[in-house]
């Protein structure tokens, strides 16, 4: 992070910010002059993003290469269908379009498609039709985030009531609720809000981290598109508590429908926002393809127009975040919970779940299930209940599940009886709940190939800030590729050292987290992997 670039970027604020300027203007030299920033700094940032790189600007169609589509085995045939319409050089990739429930996912002319056969693809290419995806939405227990979407009137009535209460009183209800972040680490939201509320500053920000990049996850997409007012209420309520005048939604470019839906709802809310005694603006920023921006400090750097590298902490964002001002970053699902907590009370939310994992959790089931979809489940329910009662059991033979995205644990099928849906159960068993995205690994899918896929992803998406991650993820990818293609056995001790270095030396959870699924696989699938390693 450069504090100077943060201040230079802040000169024009959010309405004319550096990130959007270079995202929309290929003349980086002109952008650099306008913001008084070195051209190298601008080019360094531009070159990081998938959709701004020179080699990707001319792509006509993008094929999903996420874990769920990979395991489903649909993308090779999809690419063959698309090659009937495009030269192979015109076909790029996107990592997870959130169409994990039906696969065969691709992006074309600003829209996402999935589950289409060859004839349907021909129709799309002729611009005769657009296809909206359908997936099941259900629940197991209390509904907080699913069910009928709230109306504008309900939003207004709830926020009017909120503004009659003291900020400390509202924060107190959030503390009682014990709501923990739904993006990965499970950090209490009340702690962040309390810290930012007490920070002295003339300006503060709330950021909604809608850069849901975990392959297999589409719960945030569900909320943005089908429960948008819950998300916007959470942002506005958080801003009211800490005294922020801007709420920023950083939404991944891979979710064009989400961006359109949120924009439409903000426009509908505009007259009400202008009428309240609270100076506030919503701001949508369309991301440009970088998984690391799911990490809150990299996301802040991205909005400022800096290269989206992870920041060293402290200082923490609640004290020095966007444009060096106090900033609270929370993910979509976390913010969407605030409506129920503020309208029904913290005790209502706290009564759901386990001692340490309160409330409900959205879980994304991919196409390995009979009934794939988004399901809201009370914390503490067994995985077996979730998979059978929500997913209808498995639609194919599965040997393992990766839950929590590329950095989540790989769980052998015989371990699901030992787990329940909460942070502690997963952690105590050596796994990670994270986004609660579930990707099935079929019995005939080589585990060594899946591990290479994870390391390839980690190496490609590394921000490069720290040596262990930048070098270690690439070395892991090379070792696994050599083992697969050249039958070159991996030294087990060397590989263990590599994983430990990544775990202990990486600056953030990207490099620090990728060893988890690898180690799980080495433990539970040692027989299958033994031919690729030597002692």
pLDDT tens-place string over residues 398-438: 999 999 999 999 999 999 999 999 999 999 999 999 889 99
**Burial level of 29, CB count in 10 A (0-12/13-18/19+)?**
exposed
* pLDDT band of 450, cuts 50, 70, 90: very high
- Domain end residue (candidates: 392, 413, 438): 438
Domain-embedded: residue 179 = yes
Q: What is the pTM of this model?
A: 0.95
142 within a domain of the structure (yes/no): no
Residues 6+ apart with CB under 8 A from 25: 31
The answer to whether residue 174 scores a pLDDT higher than 90 is yes
pLDDT (mean) for 329-337: 96
In a domain, 139, yes or no: no
- What does the pLDDT average to over 239-266? 96
168 pLDDT more than 80 = yes
Asked if 344 and 378 sit in the same domain, the reply is: no
Confidence of residue 182 (pLDDT cuts 50, 70, 90): confident
Nearest to 329 by CA among 250, 217, 220: 250
| Average pLDDT, integer, range 374-381 | 97
Instruction: Determine the pLDDT at residue 413.
Output: 97
Residues 424 and 510 grouped into a single domain: no
Q: Are residues 43 and 69 in the same domain?
A: no
First and final C-alpha spacing in the chain = 42
Q: 342 vs 117, 144, 170, 175, 206, CA distance in Å?
A: 46, 12, 7, 11, 18
Domain of 525 in residue numbering reads as 447-534
141 found inside a domain: no
In this prediction, residues 455-482 reach a mean pLDDT of 96
Among candidate residues 438, 469, 498, the one where a domain is terminated: 438
- Span 2-6, average pLDDT: 81
Distance CA 390, CA 376 (A): 9
Segment 21-25 mean pLDDT: 90
Residues 301 and 224 in one domain: yes
Indicate the DSSP class of residue 191. H
For 346-431, where are the E strands, in sequence order?
Answer: 360-365, 373-378, 398-403, 409-412
Q: What is the CATH number of the domain that holds 427?
A: 3.10.20.600
Q: Based on the fold, state whether residues 290 and 402 are members of the same structural domain.
A: no
Write the CB contacts of 70 (distance below 8 Å, at least 6 apart in sequence): 450, 453
Domain assignment of residue 474, yes or no? yes
What's the pLDDT score for residue 128? 61
Confidence of residue 367 (pLDDT cuts 50, 70, 90): very high
Q: What is the pLDDT of residue 1?
A: 54
Residues 274, 381 share a domain: no
Contacts of 448 (CB under 8 A, 6+ apart): 480, 483, 484, 528, 529, 532
- Residue 157 is inside which H or E element, if any? helix 152-162
How far is it, in rounded angstroms, from Cα 97 to Cα 57? 18
Looking at the domain assignment, is residue 140 inside a domain?
no
Question: Which positions ≥6 away from 421 have C-beta within 8 Å?
Answer: 361, 363, 377, 378, 379, 380, 381, 382, 383, 386, 433, 436
User: Tokens for 96?
Assistant: 């997870």
Among the residue ranges 93-102, 127-136, 499-508, the one predicted with the least confidence is 127-136
Confidence of residue 185 (pLDDT cuts 50, 70, 90): low
Say how many residues make up the chain: 535
Q: What is the DSSP letter of 64?
A: E
Percent of the chain predicted with pLDDT > 70? 99
Tell me what pLDDT residue 130 has.
Answer: 61
When mean pLDDT is compared over 116-125, 181-190, 352-361, the highest value belongs to 352-361
Residue 258 lies inside a defined structural domain of this protein: yes
DSSP 8-class letter at 101: T
Contact between 440 and 395 under an 8 Å Cβ cutoff? The reply is no
Q: Look up the CATH number of the domain holding residue 110.
A: 3.40.30.10
* Widest distance between CA atoms in the chain: 70
- 295 is a domain residue: yes
Number of structural domains in the chain: 5
Looking at the structure, tell me whether residues 523 and 411 fall in a common domain. no
223 and 283 both lie in a single domain: yes
Could you tell me what percentage of the chain is helix, strand and coil, using 3-state DSSP and rounding each to the nearest 5? 50, 15, 35
pLDDT at 7: 86
Are residues 96 and 226 located together in one domain of the fold?
no
CATH code at 219?
3.40.50.11540
Q: How far is CA 88 from the centre of its chain?
A: 29
> Residue 131 — pLDDT band, cuts 50, 70, 90?
low
- Average pLDDT, stretch 297-316? 93
Measured between alpha carbons, how far is residue 438 from residues 283, 286, 370, 375 in Å? 31, 26, 13, 11
Task: Clarify whether residues 23 and 60 are in a common domain.
Answer: no
d(CA 337, CA 352): 13
Q: Of 409, 438, 467, which residue sits at a domain end?
A: 438
Residues 407 and 510 in one domain: no
CATH number at residue 506: 1.20.1440.230
The per-residue pLDDT for 171 is 96
Judge contact between 114 and 97, C-beta under 8 A.
yes
pLDDT at 127: 76
Same domain, 228 and 328: yes
Name the burial class of residue 213, with classes exposed (0-12), middle (13-18) and buried (19+) by CB atoms within 10 angstroms of its CB. buried
């Amino acid at each position: 992070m450069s504090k100077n670039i943060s201040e230079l970027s802040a000169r024009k604020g959010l309405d004319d910010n550096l990130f959007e300027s270079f995202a929309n203007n290929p003349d980086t030299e002109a952008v650099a002059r306008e913001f008084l920033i070195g051209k190298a700094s601008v080019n360094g940032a531009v070159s990081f993003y998938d959709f701004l790189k020179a080699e990707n600007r001319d792509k006509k169609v993008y094929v999903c290469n996420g874990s769920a589509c990979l395991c489903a085995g649909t993308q090779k045939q999809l690419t063959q269908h698309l090659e009937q319409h495009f030269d192979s050089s015109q076909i790029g990739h996107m990592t997870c379009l959130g169409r994990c429930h039906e696969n065969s996912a691709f992006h074309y002319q600003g829209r996402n498609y999935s589950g289409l056969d060859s004839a349907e693809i021909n129709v799309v290419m002729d611009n005769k039709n657009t296809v909206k995806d359908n997936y099941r939405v259900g629940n197991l227990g209390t509904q907080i985030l699913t069910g009928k979407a709230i109306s504008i009137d309900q939003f207004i009535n709830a926020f009017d009531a909120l503004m009659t209460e003291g900020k400390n009183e509202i924060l107190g209800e959030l503390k009682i609720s014990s709501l923990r972040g739904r993006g990965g680490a499970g950090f209490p939201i009340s702690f962040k809000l309390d810290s930012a509320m007490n920070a002295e500053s003339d300006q503060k920000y709330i950021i909604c981290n809608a850069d849901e990049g975990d392959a297999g996850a589409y719960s945030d997409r569900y909320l943005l598109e089908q429960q948008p007012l819950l998300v916007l209420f959470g942002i506005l309520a958080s801003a009211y508590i800490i005294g922020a005048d801007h709420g920023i939604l950083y939404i991944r470019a891979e979710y064009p429908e989400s961006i359109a839906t949120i924009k439409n709802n903000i426009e509908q809310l505009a007259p009400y926002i202008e009428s309240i005694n609270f100076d506030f603006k919503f701001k949508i920023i369309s991301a440009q393809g970088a998984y690391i921006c799911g990490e809150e400090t990299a996301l802040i750097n991205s909005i400022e127009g800096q290269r989206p590298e992870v920041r060293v902490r402290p200082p923490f964002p609640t004290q020095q975040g966007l444009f060096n001002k106090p900033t609270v970053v929370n993910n979509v699902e976390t913010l969407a919970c605030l409506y129920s907590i503020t309208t029904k009370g913290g005790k209502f939310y706290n009564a759901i779940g386990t001692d340490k994992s309160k409330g409900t959790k959205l879980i994304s089931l991919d196409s390995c299930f009979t009934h794939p979809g988004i399901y809201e489940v009370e914390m503490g329910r067994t995985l077996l209940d979730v998979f059978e009662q929500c997913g209808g059991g498995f639609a194919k033979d599965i040997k393992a599940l990766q839950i929590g995205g590329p950095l989540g644990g790989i769980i052998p099928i015989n371990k699901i009886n030992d787990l329940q849906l909460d942070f502690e159960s997963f952690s105590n068993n050596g796994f990670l709940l994270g986004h609660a995205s579930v990707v099935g690994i079929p019995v005939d899918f080589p585990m060594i190939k899946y591990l290479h896929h994870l390391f390839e992803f980690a190496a490609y998406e590394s921000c490069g800030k720290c040596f262990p991650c930048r070098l270690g993820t690439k070395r892991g990818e090379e070792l696994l590729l050599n083992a697969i293609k050249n039958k070159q056995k991996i030294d087990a001790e060397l590989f263990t050292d590599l994983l430990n270095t990544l775990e202990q030396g990486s600056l953030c959870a990207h490099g620090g987290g990728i060893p988890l699924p690898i180690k799980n696989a080495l433990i539970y699938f040692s027989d299958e992997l033994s031919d690729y390693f030597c002692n």
